[in-house]
């Protein structure tokens, strides 16, 4: 069947050439955290990390490279992005342009299916989807490893949103060996992330700035030196589906990262009083027999990692603890997916 060119995603009007693709990637929550870089220019992390993708939270991003554009453009949820967001996306497009040997500018439109400003980081899903769509639009079919390497350059945690399920990001020692790969598929172990949204405020210090201050804490060296042991314990616990082994290491790793944040100069406090209330309640619920542990990223919201059988009870108990807490639930998610793409035809 002959398809009109528009349906192929390729549009040639008035001699304007455009290459388009759309991709989707999920957010992820780290069990062993990435905090601090050995080389911030290429986001080469201080330590390897481990996460699970979040099925319920994703970004869907369309990229159109066009020779009619004189600069990059960015819409987020159909609104023009703030200048800082456009600058960061444009810097990532520069990396991709260099890699793809292209001089074209891009029109980027990204939709998050979770409320922006819910205090849930969107940079992992956003930069993973952007990297896949931007490279596919120009006809590049990169390996998972190549995509993960490139996504890392946009936002470190985006490297982990390329592979499926439970994902390890190998810190590596240089650009070419710092990438993520899956250690288990989403259905290997039905965990859930029950997120207690404690504040919707935008974080006062974003993670890029935060990474830059990590080395000012006297605790960072110890955290990094001991991260490999925690990573190994967490991987073994996941592969053995052993919640009792996973819970303490996930909480310890989160506490250590926040100890580094709190002792950095200037100090960064992401926890709010309500975060601590939820953390203590989670430990109490675990003592009572529920499979639940907590972890927090660079914000006050508490991710309650649960055995799927206990997720509904945990969600209800969070509401009992404080009816103002909004609860978002997510199962384990898959890897980044290409939804549509044309091929470069010139």
Nearer to ligand PMV, 18 or 297 (CB): 297
φ, ψ for residue 299 (rounded to 5)? -175, 175
| Interaction of residue 207 with ligand PMV, rule CB under 6 A | yes
Express the helix, strand and coil content of the chain in percent, nearest 5 each: 40, 30, 30
| Interaction of residue 110 with ligand PMV, rule CB under 6 A | no
Nearer to ligand PMV, 137 or 238 (CB): 238
| Interaction of residue 123 with ligand PMV, rule CB under 6 A | yes
Q: Would strands 16-32 and 337-341 be described as parallel, antiparallel, or unpaired?
A: antiparallel
Stretch that binds ligand PMV, among 118-126, 138-146, 171-179, 190-198 (CB under 6 A): 118-126
Rounded to the nearest whole angstrom, what is the least distance from the CB of residue 327 to ligand PMV in the complex? 20
A 10 A CB-CB count for 185 gives: 14
**H-only helix segments in the chain:** 83-100, 123-137, 144-154, 207-213, 220-239, 243-262, 273-287, 311-321
Which DSSP symbol is given to 270? -
**DSSP per-residue string spanning 280-323:** HHHHHHHHTT--EEEE--SSS-EEEEEEGGGHHHHHHHHHHH-T
Nearer to ligand PMV, 30 or 290 (CB): 30
- Residue 66, SS3? strand
Residues 39-68, mask of contacts with ligand PMV (x by CB under 6 A): ----------x-------------------
Stretch that binds ligand PMV, among 16-24, 117-125, 244-252, 271-279 (CB under 6 A): 117-125
| Interaction of residue 156 with ligand PMV, rule CB under 6 A | yes
| Interaction of residue 311 with ligand PMV, rule CB under 6 A | no
CA dihedral 89, 91, 92, 94 (to 10 degrees): 130
For the chain, the distance separating the N- and C-terminal CA atoms, rounded to the nearest angstrom, is: 22
A 10 A CB-CB count for 89 gives: 25
Which of 191, 298, 302, 306 lies at the binding interface for ligand PMV (CB under 6 A)? 298
Which of 112, 157, 220, 275 lies at the binding interface for ligand PMV (CB under 6 A)? 157
Nearer to ligand PMV, 156 or 165 (CB): 156
Nearer to ligand PMV, 62 or 123 (CB): 123
Binding region for ligand PMV (CB under 6 A): 30, 33-35, 49, 121, 123-124, 155-157, 207-208, 297-298
């Amino acid at each position: 069947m002959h398809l009109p060119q528009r349906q192929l995603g390729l549009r040639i009007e008035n001699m304007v050439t455009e290459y388009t693709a759309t991709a989707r990637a999920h957010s992820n929550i780290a069990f062993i955290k990435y905090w601090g870089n050995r080389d911030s220019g290429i986001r080469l992390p201080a330590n390897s990390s481990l996460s699970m993708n979040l099925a319920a939270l994703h970004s869907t991003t369309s990229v159109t490279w066009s020779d009619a554009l004189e600069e990059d453009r960015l819409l987020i949820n159909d609104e023009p992005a703030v200048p800082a967001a456009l600058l960061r996306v444009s810097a990532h497009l520069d990396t991709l342009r260099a890699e793809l040997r292209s001089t074209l500018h891009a029109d980027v439109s990204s939709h998050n299916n979770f409320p922006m400003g819910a205090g849930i980081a969107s940079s992992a899903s956003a930069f993973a989807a952007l990297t896949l769509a931007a490279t596919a639009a120009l006809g590049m079919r990169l390996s998972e490893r190549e995509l993960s390497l490139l996504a890392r350059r946009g936002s470190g945690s985006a490297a982990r949103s390329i592979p499926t399920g439970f994902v390890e990001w190998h810190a590596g020692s240089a650009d070419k060996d710092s990438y993520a790969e899956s250690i288990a598929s989403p259905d290997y172990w039905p965990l859930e992330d029950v997120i207690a949204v404690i504040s919707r405020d935008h974080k006062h210090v974003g993670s890029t700035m935060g990474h830059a201050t990590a080395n000012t804490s006297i605790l960072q060296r110890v955290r990094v030196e001991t991260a490999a042991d925690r990573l190994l314990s967490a991987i073994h616990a996941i592969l053995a589906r052993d919640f009792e082994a996973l819970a303490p290491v996930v909480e310890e790793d989160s506490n250590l990262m926040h100890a580094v944040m709190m002792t950095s100069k200037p100090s960064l406090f992401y926890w709010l009083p309500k975060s601590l209330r939820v953390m203590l309640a989670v430990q109490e619920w675990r003592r009572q027999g529920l499979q639940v542990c907590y972890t927090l990223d660079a914000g006050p919201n508490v991710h309650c990692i649960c055995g799927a059988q206990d997720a509904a009870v945990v969600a209800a108990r969070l509401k009992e603890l404080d009816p103002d807490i909004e609860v978002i639930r997510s199962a384990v998610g898959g890897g980044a997916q290409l939804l549509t793409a044309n091929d470069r035809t010139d």
